Structure 1
Amino acid sequence: MYSTQWLRNHMLEGPVEKVNVLAGSSTISVDADAQLQRVVWRKTDLCVIATLTIFYLLSWLDRTNLGNARVAGLQTDLRLTNDQYSISLTVTLVPYLGAELPVNLLLKIVGPNILLPTLMTLWGVVMALHGTVNSFGGLLACRFFLGLFEGGMLPAIVLYMSLFYPRSKLQRRLSMIFSASSLAGAFSGLLAAAILHMDGIGGKRGWAWIFILEGLFTVVFGIVSFFIIPEPVGHCALLSAGEKGYVLKRLREDGAISQNDSADSFAWKEVFQVFRLPHVWLILCIFFFNGKRLFDWQNFTPSIVQVLGWSGTRAQLMTVPPYAVGFVVTNLGSYIADYYKRRGIVIIICAACLTAGFSMFLASHSTPVQYGSLFLTISGINAAAPAITSWVANNTAPHVRRASAIACACVMTNTGGILATWLLGSLSPPPRYTNATIVLLVSSIGFGVAASLNLGYLWNQNKRKAKTRAMETRVEEPEGLGDRSAWFTYIL
């Protein structure tokens, strides 16, 4: 085993050519050459990323298909007022707030290979039951349990990913998963348009079949995923002993996991440490502003397209191009962010796109211009999501502190989302959605300001840490500092 000083020095210098690492109970020699890197990351990408991308795609599809069902006649058939429709969206988000932190804290205890497939199977059953509702009360019950079982999925996915990838490789992988929301937005329109041809089959309306078929597919994949989602690196059957050792070495060098395994064990003090970190508070503000835009535009995109002049199947299909462009922009932005190790700049550019897009929608009465603004807003929303999520995951340590920070960030997203569910409903009626667009424009500006402040704070902290490391007389740090250690460099 290497000394703490050696490990600290190499946390900032990248991998060496040959090292000894501890994997399980035996010491293994690992060649950290380019071939090994390609094999290891290809294996994890093919299994971990592919599986989690489908998880997130189905999660997003099931969460937002209420908008497609509304355009297909759900609101008319159930005789829902605009207030009742907004309430049904809000009820989905309330249990999210209570589920996210417990799920993240349980992830390591229960095991992601058990917890994640269980949650997916349960919410798939609830989604299919949406197709049987015939009253407002039945819809509320379904939406509540959907939020309860689905609520912990996103923070759990982010935390699980941080156990496999070094900080500098995380955003690009998160982007592959998060861009599934763009795919889901595009795919949901195409799928809904196809499913609507089943209208009347079995005595059910087309919107009911949207829920039933998408829910059944989620259940099937949830059951299959019990057999394909890998355990964390130390127990992952996907990797050989040498490959496990190499990944653990990279994670420890990078500060993604602690040098001492006991530092990653559960402690309530680490949960509360999150609220003593200024950069986490700034990230929480960013997530709140992002949540308002995210839920507004994603849940109401089919309705927005409808009031621009398209209807029925055409309205579903016109939601596809903005999401397709958003998919490309999300992955391009994340590639740049990982390559240059810069999250903040990408987020600020996203904020500028959002500000421009909402300004266009607010100021123009032209249908082409308003429709064109959706390309900017949807691209900005989707490209920002992996950047801000990886930012909080990259810059909090050890494990329990990171788990708590990610969960709190998702809570703030959903808190913003609760407000958002009302903005494009009763509080801001169509066709202009004026009040909602003003709020979303202001939140986009706040989003950019908070990101700029966080970038400045992290840059200043890194300067201070560099001075501490450069001191000729090194002062021993107490244990458990995590990301506050002088040897932990924040990713900007």
Structure 2
Amino acid sequence: MATVKEAVIAKEHELEEEYADINEKALLRKLDYTLLPAVTSLYLLSFLDRSNVANARIEGLVKDLKITGDQYLTCLTIYFIGYVLFEVPCNIILKRTSPRAWLPTLTLAWGIVATLLGVTQNFGGFLAARFFLGVTESGLFPGVVFYLSMWYKRNEQHYRVALFFSAASLAGAFGGILAWGIAHMKGVGGLNGWRWIFILEGILTVLVSAASYFFIANYPDTAEFLSDRERSFIHARLAANSDATRNEAFTWSNVSTAFKDYKVWLATNDCTPYSVAFVLTLTVAVLSERYRIRAPFIMASSSIAIIGYIILLSNPLSRPGVSYFGTILAAAGIYPATALVLAWPANNVSGQTKRATANAMQISIGNLGAVLGTQLYRTETAPKYLLGHSFALAYLIFNVAVVGTLGWILKRENEKRDREVSEGKVVLTDYRDDEWGGDEDKRWRFQT
């Protein structure tokens, strides 16, 4: 008797013969070129609208709204509360409506909220706007993941989701420079630069949302860009691989089955490493700011990740519990270190243009790791992933060495500047050890 896998393979061979006139690879490219740019552009705007708060802070947000450091962190946290609470409800709405109706409407909603962030006048207003930004953005990512599952076979979805998710890195790459340019509108209309960052980027989202009602396709059975023959083939290939072709009416009982299925909860708990990483990232950030040092915390966090990867590599039997613990340590170490590394150039590079360029360079070069990572974690290396884990471990060890070296160099430079001040070689007019520094202005100290 044939196994399920063998039956699926046999069915795929039957389809190849039945639809010999269809070039499957060409059809997949057609789907990719039509579907992915549309949803990816929305996610790029989503990530841009949620992350521009950091750029707004640099341009005077905290000062104008009289927000304290703890209140600012609360504004960051409240976004994720709204996000988490409404992800499931938003996907329920998507199931009851359609992608063309729901995804653009979500985009319009968060575009309006993002724009309103630019006209808030106090902490309470900004906090409320950040909460509703999380609410309105919450449905996009899970919605698109579900949407793609209705178009692609299961083994084809991961790559498409990865391409879609990569929009976040694009937003990170140019978001800082874009915000820096917009901030030069300071004074226009009597508004500070940070307000224009929210207003203009929010208006851009609103405009794109209006267009997206036309370029977001629904599901294969009604897609206008496909021929009848192509729709039939997509339906057949999905029917042999998933439940995407089932005409499933919405019922609340189907919703409850997800909550009752223990396997769903186990999959959901895969977020635990990221939950730990989230808490540790905030904790390390607060401590780093309090003690005004970077390198020791980056090295310590990286060391936690190193231990995690050592555990993953030294688990020859791939025992799930051991691997899970190693994954928690890896994530808990990488995320705090990454957050601090991303902030380091902003602390230490002097000159606005140079700093904006340096930040963009750092993120752009860093994102090359994602390109390499897709080649390191190959399916055939599962479940041990020795190549990928070994490369990550080596990189983290190298990172500790580089950060330690850079911290030592900056410390020596600070000591040199201290001597120059004490010897009268540099006139001290404004000297604080919690600010960035650079060769252009030797009055400032580096953060180490």
After TM superposition, the score normalised by the length of structure 1 is: 0.63
- Determine whether 1:236 maps to 2:223: yes
Which letter does structure 1 place at the counterpart of 2:407? Answer: S
| Cα distance in structure 1, aligned partners of 2:399 and 2:265 | 29
Quote how far apart the aligned CAs of 1:334 are: 3.5
Quote how far apart the aligned CAs of 1:280 are: 1.2
Of residues 37, 50, 56, the one that matches 2:43 is 56
Note the alpha carbon deviations across 1:183-240, whole angstroms, 9 max, x for none. 1001101201211221211111111111111000000001110111000122222222
- Determine whether 1:179 maps to 2:220: no
Kindly name which structure, 1 or 2, has the bigger radius of gyration based on alpha carbons.
2
SS of 1:238's equivalent in the other structure is coil
* Conservation of the 8 A alpha-carbon contact between 1:104 and 1:156: yes
Quote how far apart the aligned CAs of 1:105 are: 2.2
Which letter does structure 2 place at the counterpart of 1:317? Answer: T
| Cα distance in structure 2, aligned partners of 1:241 and 1:147 | 40
Of residues 322, 335, 341, the one that matches 2:362 is 322
* Conservation of the 8 A alpha-carbon contact between 1:130 and 1:211: yes
| Cα distance in structure 1, aligned partners of 2:40 and 2:7 | 32
SS of 2:19's equivalent in the other structure is strand
C-alpha distance 284-233 of structure 1, shift in aligned 2 (>3 A): same
- Determine whether 1:11 maps to 2:13: no
Of residues 126, 150, 174, the one that matches 1:139 is 126
C-alpha distance 82-37 of structure 1, shift in aligned 2 (>3 A): same
- Determine whether 1:221 maps to 2:208: yes
The corresponding residue for 1:77 is: 64
* Conservation of the 8 A alpha-carbon contact between 2:259 and 2:265: no
Q: Counterparts of 1:252-331 in structure 2 under 5 Å?
A: 252-254=239-241, 256-257=242-243, 261-262=247-248, 267-276=254-263, 280=267, 283-289=270-276, 291=278, 303-310=343-350, 312-331=352-371
Note the alpha carbon deviations across 1:288-308, whole angstroms, 9 max, x for none. 346556986888776443223
Quote how far apart the aligned CAs of 1:55 are: 0.8
Note the alpha carbon deviations across 1:306-335, whole angstroms, 9 max, x for none. 223445343332221232134433244336
| Cα distance in structure 1, aligned partners of 2:388 and 2:249 | 31
- Range that drifts further, 330-339 or 134-143: 330-339
SS of 1:319's equivalent in the other structure is helix
Quote how far apart the aligned CAs of 1:86 are: 0.2
Q: Counterparts of 1:410-421 in structure 2 under 5 Å?
A: none
The corresponding residue for 1:396 is: none
Quote how far apart the aligned CAs of 1:103 are: 1.1
SS of 1:267's equivalent in the other structure is helix
Identify the structure with bigger relative contact order (alpha carbons < 8 Å, sequence gap 6+).
1
C-alpha distance 307-123 of structure 1, shift in aligned 2 (>3 A): same
SS of 2:13's equivalent in the other structure is coil
C-alpha distance 281-56 of structure 1, shift in aligned 2 (>3 A): closer
Q: Counterparts of 1:76-225 in structure 2 under 5 Å?
A: 76-225=63-212
Note the alpha carbon deviations across 1:393-431, whole angstroms, 9 max, x for none. xxxxxxxxxxxxxxxxxxxxxxxxxxxxxxxxxxxx978
Quote how far apart the aligned CAs of 1:250 are: 2.6
SS of 2:12's equivalent in the other structure is coil
Of residues 219, 229, 232, the one that matches 1:245 is 232
Note the alpha carbon deviations across 1:3-43, whole angstroms, 9 max, x for none. x98986432567315469xxxxxxxx522x7x621332122
| Cα distance in structure 2, aligned partners of 1:357 and 1:120 | 41
After TM superposition, the score normalised by the length of structure 2 is: 0.69
The corresponding residue for 1:488 is: none
C-alpha distance 303-231 of structure 1, shift in aligned 2 (>3 A): same
Which letter does structure 1 place at the counterpart of 2:29? Answer: R
C-alpha distance 42-259 of structure 1, shift in aligned 2 (>3 A): closer
| Cα distance in structure 1, aligned partners of 2:68 and 2:409 | 29
How many residue pairs match? The answer is: 360
CA-based RMSD? 3.7
Quote how far apart the aligned CAs of 1:351 are: 6.1
| Cα distance in structure 2, aligned partners of 1:83 and 1:273 | 38
* Conservation of the 8 A alpha-carbon contact between 1:175 and 1:334: no
C-alpha distance 184-332 of structure 1, shift in aligned 2 (>3 A): same
| Cα distance in structure 1, aligned partners of 2:395 and 2:81 | 26
C-alpha distance 344-199 of structure 1, shift in aligned 2 (>3 A): farther
The corresponding residue for 2:19 is: 30
| Cα distance in structure 2, aligned partners of 1:133 and 1:176 | 35
* Conservation of the 8 A alpha-carbon contact between 1:308 and 1:367: no
The corresponding residue for 1:366 is: 407
* Conservation of the 8 A alpha-carbon contact between 2:150 and 2:244: no
* Conservation of the 8 A alpha-carbon contact between 1:130 and 1:208: yes
Structure 1: stretches of 5+ with no match in the other structure? 21-28, 371-428, 433-492
Note the alpha carbon deviations across 1:116-156, whole angstroms, 9 max, x for none. 10010011011111111232122112111111111121111
| Cα distance in structure 1, aligned partners of 2:207 and 2:384 | 39
* Conservation of the 8 A alpha-carbon contact between 2:96 and 2:250: no
| Cα distance in structure 1, aligned partners of 2:434 and 2:233 | 56
